[in-house]
Structure 1
Amino acid sequence: MILYGSSLSPFVRKTLAFATEKGMELELQQAGMGGGPPEFKLASPFGKMPGFKDGDFLLCDSTAIITYLEALQPEPNLIPLEPKARARAIWYEEFADTILIAAAGTMFFNRIVAPKFLGRPGDEAAAAKAETETLPPILDYLENVLPESGWLVEDRITLADIAVASVFVNLSHLQWKPNAERHPRATAYIQKVLARPSYAKWVEAEKAMFAA
């Protein structure tokens, strides 16, 4: 199975980590930003990362791909079966993909993507506003909903944690760290999930990109 995109995308990275947690292997082929093999454009007609290929089956969108992987290999179960837990896991993925990424993505785009990959200055005012005004209340929410177990759903790692953690990798590349005094539970949570092998290898590989 082939995943098209860059692990710098939280959506691509989320899909890679999800597959790793399930013991599945995905071959990552670089694509996006106007590039990539013809299969990527067939899989993702609007050029959004990630694209996916399994034999003659082509698909795009991280949530759709993850749904396929979960159905293909149900165990270990990462999308809960119990109705309320399942709904909460899907909510946290949506929270990561829309609300959390709105703040983190603004910071990452303007401080890394624009200057490093597009060759133009980013909007620092927008990035600073996202960091100081948009992000803290989101972290307040995360701090308040995290159970004592340190996992968002069913006291174990699920899609919820995989999705939320992926966005924090992008923030880590900005040398951003949560305020451990204001958000102690969220701080420990982020560190715990990102230390898992499913994320650690991508975090290190991406750090090497910035060091090059």
Structure 2
Amino acid sequence: MIVYGSTLSPFVRKVMVVCAEKGLAPELKPAGMGQGGPEFAEASPFGKMPAFRDGDFTLCDSSAIIHYIEAKYPEAGLIPEAPEARGRTIWFEEFADTIIVGANTPIFFNRFVGPRVLRMTPDIAAAESAEREAMPKVCDYLERVVPDEGFLVEDRLTLADIAVASPLANLALVGSPVDPVRYPRVTRYLNRILERPSFATILEQDRKTIAAMGGAVREAAAA
């Protein structure tokens, strides 16, 4: 079993955490942004990560990959069977993949991917605008819905928690974490999820990767 991509992508990270929670250990092969070669191109026709290979079977898109893994390896199920719980889980994954990622992409891109990976001049104003305007809307909603203890759905870890925590983790990686004073419930919730070994091991490597590439860019002149 192979996952193509980089865990700096919240979508790749989401797949790898799901696998870890199920006791699976797929090989992670670097891909995306010009990497990956023919194998990656076969698995991901449009060059998006993650891509996935299980024997002769290939697939792309994190949600599709996770649904395949959940069906093939149902132990430690992460997508509930009950209709209401399943609906809420899929909502939180969609919320994470579209709204959270959409809000924090200008931050992560301009503070790391653009200047450090692509050698582009960062748009720090765009990052600051997202920190000031887009992310508070996300966190205001989460502050209302995350529990004081436990998890988002069925009082157990589900894909909902993994999907929501994965892109939020990128904020701290570039020095723009969720404000613990303004959002104490979100902060406690996020800490609970990210302290799990499935996340912690990946994030430790992500921190090392970012540091090795020069760290986050906080000002345009530092690029």
TM-score range, shorter chain: over 0.9
Shift of 1:181: 2.3
Q: CA RMSD in A?
A: 0.9
SS in 2 for 1:3: strand
Count residues in correspondence: 212
Equivalent positions of 1:46-195 (< 5 A) are 46-195=46-195
Deviations 1:6-37 (A, max 9, x none): 11100000000011011112110000002113
Which consecutive residues of structure 1, in runs of 5 or more, have no partner in the other structure? none
Deviations 1:122-146 (A, max 9, x none): 1111111110001011101001011
SS in 2 for 1:153: coil
Q: 1-side partners of 2:101 and 2:147: how far apart?
A: 22
Contact 1:100–1:167 under 8 Å retained in 2: yes
Q: 2-side partners of 1:210 and 1:160: how far apart?
A: 26
Q: Which residue of 2 aligns with 1:3?
A: 3
Q: 2-side partners of 1:141 and 1:131: how far apart?
A: 15
Q: Which residue of 2 aligns with 1:210?
A: 210
Query: Could you state the TM-score of these two structures normalised by the residue count of structure 2?
Result: 0.93
Deviations 1:75-121 (A, max 9, x none): 11100000010010000000110000111111000111110011111
Shift of 1:149: 3.2
SS in 1 for 2:176: coil
Q: 1-side partners of 2:206 and 2:147: how far apart?
A: 30
Contact 1:7–1:206 under 8 Å retained in 2: yes
Query: Could you state the TM-score of these two structures normalised by the residue count of structure 1?
Result: 0.97
